[in-house]
Structure 1
Amino acid sequence: MTDQPKQLLHLVLGGDLKDPTGIEFSDLSKLDIVGVFPNYAEAYAAWRAKAAATVDDAQKRYFVVHLHRLLDPSTDPSRKG
């Protein structure tokens, strides 16, 4: 068995927002699920590509969700304990 880095899942998703200053999507049925990635670096690269491709659309926004923090709260660096 090889030593591989710990898998820290990240989700990249986006779509049109109701208000470009908020985080509420206009239509959840049209949400663009870009994918789930094994680490932040890969998720960031996917997010950056989607964000760059939609830079001229002020209503569209993409996010990186740290799924690993939901699945295992001990991986959240902001948690103290």
Structure 2
Amino acid sequence: MSMMHLVMGGRVTDPQGVDFEDLSKIDLVGIFPDFASAENAWRGAAQRTVDDAAMKYVVVHLHRLIEPNG
């Protein structure tokens, strides 16, 4: 099974959470075949917006959503 990971981000209503303000403005960084490459992409995106506390990037483990018991 592929271990797909999605990296995405956007402005959040609360920096402590992942409630995005406007889903139409989500930055879809990409889908990656392993956590290491996803983490690298996440780190790059997060560092570009480090001065904006309302911007948040996350790694979504797509393989866990596709096969939650797998």
What TM-score does the superposition give when structure 1 sets the normalisation length? Answer: 0.80
Identity of aligned residues (%): 54
Query: May I ask how many residue pairs the two structures share in their alignment?
Result: 70
Q: Any stretches of 5+ residues in structure 1 without a counterpart?
A: 1-5, 76-81
1:48 equivalent in alignment to 2:43: yes
Q: 1:36 aligns with which of 18, 22, 31?
A: 31
Detail structure 1 runs of 4+ shifted over 2 Å in the superposition.
none
Match for residue 79 of structure 1? Answer: none
What TM-score does the superposition give when structure 2 sets the normalisation length? Answer: 0.92
Structure of greater relative contact order (alpha carbons < 8 Å, 6+ residues apart) = 2
More strand by share: 2
C-alpha RMSD of the superposition: 1.1
Q: Which amino acid aligns with 1:52?
A: Q
